[in-house]
């Protein structure tokens, strides 16, 4: 609309100046109206709201992994595992959830029975500093851990935070509720953790994490959980994933070993 009004003013001014024989006046009027038109265009651009371009990236990024190993003949074995993970990240909040399960038999004797899950919420106070609240739950039938639930708030810091690489440390108090070897226990613990991830390219990534907790009134009783993984994309939705999990309990249930190591390899589907 402003463009049409300015054009009309220019034509009207030109007609008046031409009738008076003032060509220079017409040119000066044209220059002034041209400048006014530029100012009006700039004002329209400033007043127009900037709308972010829509993306196809989902609010939650999730993946589920399946793996099965079977043998028959001199030994009859079964090992099945599945892993689910999902997360949502924005500039001020991060939600991370995961669960995994493993079951195995060796000649009809149970060799693996594990259920594990966790949830963590991070609130970023700066691009690097954040506070977190985390909950973990574990059942391990072979290690005689009926349940172990850990609740921990704390603070964390991103030492490296780029598009390709992430390195974060976390620390805070925690409380552990567990039933081990038929005995219920509750104790306080400090929690120290570290997380690392690096995307080698658009198709391959590696990650690693370590978590350490000890019983405040019995430092000999401590837990270490570690994980190392690599993932290679086959398609946009499918990838091949291999993970090594190591769970160490310095004081295990009687007749049980302290260290449990799992090698999990399977096909992951992203959605």
Instruction: Give pLDDT, residue 71.
Output: 82
Say if CB 167 and CB 145 are below 8 A apart: no
- The residues pairing with 56 across neighbouring beta strands, listed in sequence order, are none
- Answer whether 257's CB lies under 8 Å from 95's CB: no
pLDDT reported for residue 226 = 97
Task: In whole angstroms, give the CA distance from residue 50 to residue 8.
Answer: 31
pLDDT at 1: 52
- 45-54 long-range contacts (CB < 8 A, ≥24 apart) are none
Cα-flanking dihedrals φ and ψ of residue 35, to 5°? Answer: -65, -45
Question: Where along the chain do its domains lie?
Answer: 2-47, 61-270
pTM: 0.75
DSSP letter (8 states) at residue 234: S
CATH code, 61-270: 2.40.160.40
**Per-residue confidence of the chain (271 residues) as pLDDT tens digits?**
544 444 544 444 454 444 445 445 544 544 544 544 554 454 444 444 444 444 556 689 999 999 888 888 777 888 899 999 999 999 999 999 999 999 999 888 898 899 999 999 999 999 999 999 999 999 999 999 999 999 999 999 999 999 999 999 999 999 999 999 999 999 999 999 999 999 999 899 999 999 999 999 999 999 999 999 999 999 999 999 999 999 999 999 999 999 999 888 899 999 9
């Amino acid at each position: 609309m402003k463009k049409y009004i300015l054009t009309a003013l220019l034509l009207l001014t030109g007609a008046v100046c031409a009738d008076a024989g003032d060509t220079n006046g017409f040119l000066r009027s044209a220059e002034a109206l041209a400048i006014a038109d530029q100012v009006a265009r700039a004002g329209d651009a400033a007043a127009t709201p900037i709308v972010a371009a829509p993306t196809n990236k989902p609010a939650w990024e999730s993946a589920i992994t399946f793996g099965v190993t079977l043998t028959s003949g001199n030994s009859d074995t079964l090992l099945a595992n599945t892993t689910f993970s999902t997360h949502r990240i924005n500039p001020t909040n991060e939600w991370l959830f995961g669960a995994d399960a493993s079951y195995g038999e060796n000649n009809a004797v149970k060799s693996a029975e594990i259920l594990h899950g966790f949830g963590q919420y991070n609130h970023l106070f700066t691009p690097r500093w954040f506070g977190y609240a985390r909950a973990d739950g574990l059942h391990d039938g072979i290690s005689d851990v009926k349940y172990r639930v850990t609740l921990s708030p704390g603070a964390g810091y991103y030492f490296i935070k780029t598009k390709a690489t992430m390195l974060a440390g976390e620390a805070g108090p925690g409380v552990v509720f567990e039933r081990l070897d038929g005995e219920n226990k509750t104790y306080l613990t400090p929690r120290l953790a570290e997380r690392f991830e690096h995307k080698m390219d658009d198709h391959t990534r590696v990650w690693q994490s370590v978590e350490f907790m000890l019983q405040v009134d019995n430092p000999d009783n401590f837990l270490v959980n570690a994980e190392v993984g690599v993932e290679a994309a086959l398609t946009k939705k499918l990838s091949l994933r291999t993970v090594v999990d190591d769970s160490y309990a310095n004081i295990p249930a009687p007749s049980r070993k302290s260290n449990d190591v799992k090698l999990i390899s399977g096909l992951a589907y992203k959605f």
